[in-house]
Chain A
């Protein structure tokens, strides 16, 4: 019993331990406010990419309204705090509203897929941004909301970046933990079955619609939380932070890290936020280089960083296994095979045996 339990949860437990260590590193390093600021930004994007990853990497849906949902969370928290509400209340309301709006946006997913779903969610995401811009009485219009109070829990004031980083990293860890439990549960396995073959999953008796909606709701939950943190982090929000570009930025981070893996989005968010900071010094050329790098990364590392690492690991492990069992199967050198296995985060190049490819 306990052995089976251990075998099943060994992966996620190891992973969580790694995440905890990663999250503790910045705290242990006694960050100055400059670095704490960047770490906080990274934490916000890790939460966002994890939401994107749940809906895209695990659910096989596409959600380009992520930027708008992020805004729903941010505006909820900002408005509640500006009306003298407490931060814990604002935080919970943000998460719930994000969940609710995302579930509504996910409704079309029951009918349409692929490009069409991309377009619907993209349109609805922009629609949210239009509401932020035009509903001036509540959202402050194009100027946005300023001087949002700092987050406070009881007498605990998170009034500078270093203090905030405790809160942000803590929330980030909690969301990662939820995601890890979620994808390793029965629910998560059904979700992956649905992603890999919707019709077959339906034939196996999985209620596909519920799963699709839950995916969306989850992404909104994460976006709402991230938005709430964002509002108290900058103490200033405006509609431009929640437009289509934001959704694309989140999507790019998810892809760069590697979709459908737990560690991928973390890597992606840290890499791209870091890259953006670094490129600031290039001034005018910053975004040109940024765009070029995104294209290069998508073209070269199709499984993302996590996919590349998995491929490397499998290659090493596979070599060891081959040595023992002396499995010698004909190498498949066809371009199509290599592309296909790269796309699912498998081995690139070399000679992937059938065993390795089914191994992931």
Chain B
């Protein structure tokens, strides 16, 4: 295989995994923008949502098997409901110091991990892809067709989110309360409900990301840890709270990661990715797309 083809192959693969990171990053950014709270349990929500969806898809826990699409929706909706519950729990945390948010949300993460362990077991499961997974050959670049489904679903979800935020009253209210809580409340927008919606959407996006990546990995209760951190990294690269930035950050991180593992070393992929992130943050702490601000006393 020539060098150029290898690059193309890595980029396509990277964009596929990058879509998943983009969805997780969107969840982080959306919740941060509306509540000012970094939900460190996002990765654990992802894992939980994945298991919920797979329960329908694969007929776990004695349930019958459902079509992939219904299972996908069920996972998203159920995980969103958990998100609503979590918002109520975290509401008092939003005004506090970062370290409290960190420990509070991570406490929830520990719970979710171990509840999943309790319900579904820690062994892990292999998830069959919903379509036949024969690699197709596009001009010498070998691509798994499932990647296109991941990309298509991501595009659909991102467009759906954008329409929801800009075209519906609910979405406009959500953006208003993200911009200025007090004034939005004066205009009769139920800001707490909006926070709950943001949390639900964020959790739903996490579940979607997990379900999309499930056939590509070995699903176990620990998958949320590294996926959550990588999604957070993507959100930071794009500028935390910046939604288009989250998508770009996710895709970028996916490609970088795949290229590193293709060319340098697969066991040190994460190490290099984190070092790169450190450099990015030191050079541009506000993210690649963020505007520079001057801090006031």
Contacts and interface: CB of A to CB of B under 8 A. Distances in A.
A111 B295 CA distance: 13
A78 to B, nearest CB: 21
Interface string B96-136: 11111011101111111111011000000000000000000
- Which 7 A-B pairs have CB atoms at the shortest separation, nearest pair first? A291-B110, A123-B274, A291-B111, A294-B107, A295-B107, A287-B114, A298-B104
B81 interface: no
Contact of A299 (B99, B104, B277, B278): B104
A244 B274 CA distance: 14
A295 B270 contact: no
Contacts of B295: 199
A181 interface: no
Given A111-B285, A299-B92, A299-B93, A126 B110 contact: no
B229 interface: yes
A295 B96 contact: no
A288 B111 CA distance: 5
Given A120-B278, A291-B113, A294-B104, 16 more contacts: A112-B285, A114-B98, A115-B98, A116-B281, A118-B102, A124-B274, A197-B297, A288-B114, A288-B118, A290-B110, A291-B107, A291-B108, A295-B89, A295-B104, A295-B107, A343-B96
Contact of B118 (A108, A126, A284): A284
A287 B102 CA distance: 18
A247 B4 CA distance: 42
Interface in A306-360: 339, 343
A67 to B, nearest CB: 13
A118 B99 CA distance: 9
Interface in A114-138: 114-116, 118-120, 122-124, 126-127, 130-131, 133-134
B291 interface: no
B93 A124 contact: no
Contacts of A111: 281-282, 285
Contacts of A126: 229, 270, 274
A145 interface: no
17 contacts: A56-B99, A111-B281, A112-B282, A112-B285, A114-B98, A119-B281, A120-B278, A130-B270, A134-B268, A199-B295, A259-B99, A284-B114, A286-B114, A294-B106, A298-B93, A299-B89, A339-B96
Residue with the greatest number of chain B CB neighbours at <10 A, chosen from A244, A288, A291, A294: A291
A119 B277 contact: yes
Contacts of B100: 255, 298, 302
Contacts of B22: none
B103 A131 contact: no
What's the dominant secondary structure at chain B's contact region?
A: helix
Nearest to A304: B100
What's the dominant secondary structure at chain A's contact region?
A: helix
A108 B277 CA distance: 11
A129 to B, nearest CB: 9
Contacts of B236: 115-116, 119
Contacts of B109: 291
Given A251-B102, A252-B103, A127 B89 contact: no
A272 B277 CA distance: 33
A255 B297 contact: no
Nearest to B236: A119
Contacts of A288: 110-111, 114-115, 118
B270 A200 contact: no
Contacts of A123: 229, 233, 274-275, 277-278
A30 B233 CA distance: 50
A180 to B, nearest CB: 22
Residue with the greatest number of chain A CB neighbours at <10 A, chosen from B99, B111, B281: B99
Contacts of B232: 119
A108 B278 contact: yes
Given A197-B297, A295-B111, A255 B281 contact: no
B274 A127 contact: yes
Given A118-B98, A119-B232, A251 B103 contact: yes
Residue with the greatest number of chain A CB neighbours at <10 A, chosen from B97, B108, B109, B225: B97
A68 B29 CA distance: 27
Contacts of A339: 92, 95-96
B115 to A, nearest CB: 6
A54 to B, nearest CB: 14
Contacts of B93: 298-299
Nearest to B279: A108
Interface in A275-305: 284-288, 290-295, 298-299, 302
Contacts of A244: 225, 229
B169 interface: no
Nearest to B105: A295
Nearest to A52: B99
A152 B284 CA distance: 49
A293 B267 CA distance: 36
Contacts of B117: 284, 287
Residue with the greatest number of chain B CB neighbours at <10 A, chosen from A119, A255, A284, A290: A119
A80 interface: no
A343 B107 contact: no
Nearest to A244: B225
B99 A124 contact: no
